[in-house]
Structure 1
């Protein structure tokens, strides 16, 4: 039997664009700040490697396979980490105005439409 009074409460609400960007911003070991997707590219079609500052950039989501004994990739300056940590890494795309995406209705709702108070 489950005791309904022993469970913790869960609060669901919207998150501000500033909070999302603070979750996604990461400081690399070389001091560089990354997290914003600035290019629309995903992979290079010949090498099948992710493009820098693109949607699947390894600097945002960290590199998984370790080829040497070092803990930092010399090419990207990113740490080698376990796949369990990579699942929680985030990146963000800065838009002209904040929008809300609801998966249930598959609609995009502008939070503050231009020209409205």
Structure 2
């Protein structure tokens, strides 16, 4: 007899939640988003290397590449040599991730604005000081070395 998906909920004894490292995120990614554009205003198609790119996130239409060279399930799994889109069903767009390479590291607002500040508690820094560092208004000495500066100054 078929097992109901809700019956399997009790099979788990624990749930582990952790932050993803940059290497983990890149390994999950299907490509880098390089442009802020979403859809071309003339063609109403996703912009290449944009936030809705078909090469990164998958085809917009089932079993069809972006340029239309390959159509139908007979070309299943083929990567188009013109547009670089893999011929598959469009549902993969809901599951695939892309990534953005940033010039400087960033902190998500939830980690330093939430009360109590998780990042502030972890680093043992007041929220006001941490906010200045996050917004590049101030800095923190991590390793004073041979200078007269003190750590966390």
Above 0.5 in TM-score? yes
Do the aligned residues in 2 keep the contact of 1:17 with 1:98 (CA within 8 Å)?
A: no
Give the structure with higher Rg (CA).
2
1:8 match = 13
Judging changes above 3 Å, is the alpha-carbon distance between structure 1 residues 36 and 10 closer, same or farther for their aligned structure 2 residues?
A: same
Shift of 1:55: 0.5
CA RMSD of aligned residues (A): 2.9
What pairs up with 1:34-49 in 2 under 5 angstroms?
Answer: 35-49=31-45
**Partner Cα separation in structure 2 for residue 40 and residue 83 of structure 1:** 22
TM-superposition CA deviations, 1:25-70 (whole Å, max 9, x none): x3xxxxxxxx111111111101101111111000111114225232
Report whether the alignment pairs 1:87 with 2:83: no
Greater helix share, 1 or 2?
2
Query: Match of 1:91, SS?
Result: strand
Gaps of 5+ in 1: 27-34
1:78 aligns with 2:85: yes
Tell me what 2:3 maps to. Answer: none
SS in 1 for 2:75: coil
Partner of 1:66: 63
Question: What are structure 2's unaligned runs of at least 5 residues?
Answer: 1-9, 65-70, 120-129, 143-153
Structure-1 residue corresponding to 2:67: none
**1:99 counterpart residue number:** 107
Moved more, 86-95 or 42-51: 86-95
Higher strand share: 1
Deviating more after overlay: 35-44 vs 68-77:
68-77
Greater RCO, 1 or 2 (C-alpha within 8 Å, sep 6+):
1
Superposed displacement of residue 94, structure 1: 1.7
Find the aligned partners of 2:109 and 2:89 in 1 and give their Cα distance: 30
